[in-house]
């Protein structure tokens, strides 16, 4: 089904794979690397003159309502006067306006006023989810788009799209660049054709399961090539492509063809089509060989999209597999809640409580049409199982209504909702306690469906394709692969009508900036003042997390908590609340020590600490004036998941100065740490320090100025002993070093304007 190549490959003129050994000595590999689609797009957007050190300017930007307020506030504080490129502001996350009184609606009104003031594009609530709008109206061949959402992926339309934290969008708004080393490019070679009932989520989950844990494509570009592409519709490709985020790749791009041209033409944008193909004998740094005809209906069990099984395999081994999930859920819940799955097995079959088809991965036209073909004339039943379907945009919803598909779904008992991302991040259709929901959405991290373990609640999500979700619905909630049904007819052609967009979307980039004042609700607060990095730093260990991976959902929860993202200090109260509830109090106590230090005083508890520091050779003359105090988080591999900058900013605004890790799960999280003025430290091996210990790092500013990789630090244990440890930082650009020294991207931008 899927094969990973250990070494690089060449792609011949006839679309055939040739191993590196086969071509050894015949082709110059470095030259052949320039034959990829990725090279052609990156080189066209690079402004550095050096393809090893890219400085990229994007064609457009995209943000939704739980990220754009902070980005615009940062850019405004940094001197921005108008949006210099098209910037799309969608309102698809807190669209229900159901939490916190007026705060969600206030964010939306702020976004509209910002689009009017700075010349942006504003998509009101319920009109479209962010990525469907970008596909329909913005993406095209050879383009690059940057979004403040991790699932910013439009590769199937020939666009290299990247999801990053807000700081990287701010740089584009200030006419700066996205700086990154030239990435490895991995071929995803598709062959064959999916069997009836096998959908895009099945293909995506199979790939994720093969590459996530081994890091095969981490921070690399996935370039989809091969004869199998022609067997896939654009909707199918889009639904696979958006899930590449869950592999931890940097970006994605696909070969384009007449199918791509037709899809763009349907949306009134044939001029945005570009034929994109690798050059003959293009070289790839790796290859994922995917036989589409061998892929079966898949399921990603809790608590990660890579926890993948064939549905048939799960059904044949329910007891063993589900018991393993229960053990993992107990570890996650830490005694606060419990999840039972074996009690959902009836007569040898797993019965789920809920089905959801939604968002940028599941709510596309063809997925909904396919689900309806299974449900037409059938019933979801009147027991515990329920089904909800969220078309990804109003144009999609409108065509489904015109074709009678909405009536078919409603007749079967499905609930049809508007374009909304809630089920993907815990802001809508939260299952019952101890419930299992099957979803064609993007993620199934712990508690991301909305349950609150601190309140004794725990439910879970398994990811599946819309077709198998519909098959399960037809069978009353008993888990069923779509291939068990024989109902997968030809899908009628989609008819796109832009009327909803023409009626409701504010096209401010065309109209230009105005004198409109920004409209602030009472929850929208400015970023607090952050201090510059001192010569030395004293870090207090505020949290130590030894999990294999720490997600951004654990660092700062999603769901209703996201409503407070416009209030930096208010949101920070929820940092690590589900994983380490004591963290915020410990970090704020450390921040109070720093406040006293900056005022010229040293807390009596710190005097003995500085006495111990002065006993370290070479540190005899150290003084608090030159030694900033802050908190620190240790995690083995933090940052998998969302692009949300708040995973880092929430640490920073309550006193965070550093992360120490074995590795960073994604580039985007490390960039967020840097843009918020924290040190992205790493270490080899398990740490000896514990929560409450201090770590003293002398000469940290000098180390940044000298571009030092190795950092010497000292652990001051609570028992009075001291030990030297070795830390390091992977390469930093000159700009990143200046940001850290300044204390944040905002500070660095202000200094540049002075």
Q: How confident is the model at residue 25 (pLDDT cuts 50, 70, 90)?
A: low
For residues 420 and 432, membership in a common domain is answered with: yes
Task: For tokens 């654990």, name the residue.
Answer: 554
Least confident of 21-25, 542-546, 681-685: 21-25
- Going from the C-alpha of 42 to that of each of 33, 171, 287, the distances in angstroms are 12, 18, 20
Summarised one tens digit per residue, pLDDT across range 28-51 is 888 999 999 999 999 999 999 999
Backbone angles phi, psi at 491, to 5 degrees: -85, 125
Task: For tokens 């293009």, name the residue.
Answer: 282
What are 89's two structure tokens?
């502001």
Summarised one tens digit per residue, pLDDT across range 488-542 is 988 999 999 999 999 999 999 988 878 899 999 999 999 999 999 999 999 999 9
Summarised one tens digit per residue, pLDDT across range 117-171 is 999 999 999 999 999 999 999 999 999 999 999 999 999 999 999 999 999 999 9
pLDDT score for 754: 64
CATH of the domain at 473: 3.30.499.10
Number of folded domains that form the chain: 4
For residues 74 and 19, membership in a common domain is answered with: no
Q: Which domain-ending residue is among 144, 178, 212?
A: 178
For residues 562 and 706, membership in a common domain is answered with: yes
For residues 318 and 448, membership in a common domain is answered with: yes
Q: How confident is the model at residue 656 (pLDDT cuts 50, 70, 90)?
A: very high
Q: Which residues contact 602 (CB under 8 A, 6 or more apart)?
A: 596, 610, 624
Domain containing 413 equals: 298-480
Sort residue 381 into left (φ over 0), alpha (ψ -120 to 50) or beta. left
Transcribe 368-437 into DSSP letters.
HHHHHHHHTT----SSS-EEEE--SBHHHHHHHHHTTHHHHHHHTT-EE--S--HHHHTSS-PPPTT-EE
Summarised one tens digit per residue, pLDDT across range 86-122 is 999 999 999 998 888 999 999 999 999 999 999 999 9
Answer whether residue 22 shows pLDDT above 80: no
Q: Which residues pair with 536 in a beta bridge?
A: 627
pLDDT score for 454: 85
Q: Which domain-ending residue is among 465, 480, 495?
A: 480
**Closest by Cα among 690, 680, 738 to 711:** 680
Q: What average pLDDT score do residues 203-216 get? A: 97
- The model carries a pTM of 0.94
Answer whether residue 84 shows pLDDT above 70: yes
Q: Is 520 a member of any domain?
A: no
Do the beta carbons of residue 647 and residue 603 sit within 8 Å? no
Do the beta carbons of residue 496 and residue 394 sit within 8 Å? no
Summarised one tens digit per residue, pLDDT across range 180-198 is 999 999 999 999 999 999 9
Answer whether residue 603 shows pLDDT above 80: no
pLDDT score for 24: 67
For residues 551 and 697, membership in a common domain is answered with: yes
Q: Is 51 a member of any domain?
A: no
The bridge status of strand 286-291 relative to strand 679-682 is unpaired
pLDDT score for 13: 87
Residue 178 sits at the vertex; the CA angle it makes with 52 and 553, to the nearest 5 degrees, is: 115
Cα 705 versus chain centre, distance: 32
Summarised one tens digit per residue, pLDDT across range 718-728 is 999 999 999 99
Q: Which domain-ending residue is among 451, 480, 509?
A: 480
Q: Is 52 a member of any domain?
A: no
The bridge status of strand 436-440 relative to strand 638-640 is unpaired
Answer whether residue 310 shows pLDDT above 90: yes
Q: Percentage of the chain with pLDDT > 90?
A: 87
pLDDT score for 91: 97
Mean pLDDT, rounded, of the chain = 95
CATH of the domain at 8: 3.40.1060.10
Least confident of 242-246, 254-258, 607-611: 607-611
Q: CA-CA distance, 683 to 701, in Å (whole number)?
A: 19
Q: What average pLDDT score do residues 441-453 get? A: 91
Backbone angles phi, psi at 89, to 5 degrees: -110, 110
Q: Is 528 a member of any domain?
A: no
């Amino acid at each position: 089904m899927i094969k990973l190549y250990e070494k690089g490959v060449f792609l011949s003129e006839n679309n055939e794979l040739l191993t590196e050994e086969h071509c050894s000595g015949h082709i110059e590999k470095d030259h052949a690397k320039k034959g990829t689609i990725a090279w052609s797009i990156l080189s066209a957007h690079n402004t550095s003159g050096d393809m090893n050190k890219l400085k990229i300017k994007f064609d457009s930007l995209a943000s939704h309502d739980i990220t754009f307020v902070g980005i615009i506030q940062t850019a405004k504080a940094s001197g921005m006067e108008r949006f210099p490129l098209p910037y799309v502001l969608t309102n698809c996350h807190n669209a229900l306006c159901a939490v916190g009184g007026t705060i969600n609606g206030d964010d939306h009104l702020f976004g509209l006023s910002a689009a009017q003031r700075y010349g942006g594009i504003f998509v009101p609530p319920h009109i479209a989810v962010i990525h469907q709008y970008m596909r329909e109206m913005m993406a095209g061949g050879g383009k690059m788009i940057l979004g403040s959402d991790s699932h910013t992926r439009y590769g199937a339309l020939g666009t290299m799209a990247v999801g990053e934290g807000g700081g990287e969008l701010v740089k584009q708004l200030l006419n700066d660049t996205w700086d990154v080393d030239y990435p490895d490019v991995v071929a995803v070679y598709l062959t064959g054709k999916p069997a009836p009932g096998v959908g895009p989520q099945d293909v995506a989950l199979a790939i994720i399961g093969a590459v996530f844990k081994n890091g095969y494509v981490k921070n690399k570009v996935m370039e989809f090539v091969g004869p199998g592409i022609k067997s896939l519709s654009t909707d199918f490709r889009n639904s696979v492509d958006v899930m590449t985020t869950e592999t931890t790749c940097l970006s994605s791009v696909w070969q384009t063809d007449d199918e791509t041209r037709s899809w763009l033409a349907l949306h009134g944008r044939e001029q945005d089509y570009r034929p994109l193909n690798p050059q003959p004998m293009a070289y790839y740094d790796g290859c994922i060989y995917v036989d589409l005809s061998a892929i079966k209906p898949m399921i990603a069990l809790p608590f990660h999209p890579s926890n993948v099984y064939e549905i048939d395999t799960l059904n044949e081994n329910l007891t063993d597999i589900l018991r393993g999930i229960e053990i993992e859920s107990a570890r996650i819940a830490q005694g606060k809640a419990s999840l039972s799955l074996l009690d959902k097995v009836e007569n040898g079959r797993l019965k789920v409580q809920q089905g959801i088809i939604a968002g940028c991965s599941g709510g596309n036209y063809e997925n909904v049409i396919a689900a309806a073909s299974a449900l037409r004339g059938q019933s979801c039943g009147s027991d515990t199982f329920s089904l909800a379907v969220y078309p990804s945009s109003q144009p999609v919803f409108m065509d489904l209504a015109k074709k009678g598909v909405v009536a078919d779904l409603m007749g079967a008992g499905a609930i049809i909702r508007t374009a909304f991302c809630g089920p993907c991040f815990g802001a809508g259709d939260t299952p019952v306690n101890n419930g299992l929901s099957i979803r064609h959405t993007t993620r199934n991290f712990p508690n991301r469906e909305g349950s609150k373990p601190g309140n004794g609640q725990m439910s879970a999500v398994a990811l599946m394709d819309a077709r198998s979700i519909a098959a399960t619905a037809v069978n009353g909630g008993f888990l069923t692969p779509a291939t068990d049904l024989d109902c997968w007819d030809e899908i009628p052609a989609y008819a796109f009508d832009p009327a909803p967009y023409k009626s409701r979307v504010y096209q401010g980039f065309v109209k230009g900036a105005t004198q409109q004042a920004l409209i602030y609700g009472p929850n929208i607060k400015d970023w607090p003042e952050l201090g510059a990095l001192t010569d030395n730093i004293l870090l207090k260990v505020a949290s130590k997390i030894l999990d294999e991976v720490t997600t951004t959902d654990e660092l700062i929860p999603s769901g209703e908590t996201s409503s407070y993202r416009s209030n930096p200090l208010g949101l920070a109260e929820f940092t690590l609340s589900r994983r380490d509830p004591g963290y915020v109090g410990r970090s704020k106590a450390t921040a109070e020590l720093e406040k006293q230090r900056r005022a010229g005083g040293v807390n009596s508890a710190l005097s003995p600490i500085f006495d111990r520091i002065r006993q370290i050779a070479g540190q005899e003359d150290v003084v608090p004036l030159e030694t900033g105090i802050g908190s620190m988080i240790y995690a083995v591999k933090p940052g998998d998941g969302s692009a949300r900058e708040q995973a880092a900013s929430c640490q920073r605004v309550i006193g965070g100065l550093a992360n120490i890790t074995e590795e960073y799960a994604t580039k985007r999280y490390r960039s967020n740490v840097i843009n918020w003025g924290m040190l992205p430290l790493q270490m080899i091996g398990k740490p000896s320090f514990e929560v409450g210990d201090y770590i003293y790092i002398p000469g940290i500013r000098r180390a940044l100025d000298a571009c030092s990789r190795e950092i010497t630090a000292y652990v001051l244990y609570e028992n009075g002993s001291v030990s030297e440890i070795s830390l390091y930082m992977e390469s930093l650009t000159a700009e990143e070093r200046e940001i850290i020294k300044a204390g944040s991207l905002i500070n660095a931008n202000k200094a540049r304007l002075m």
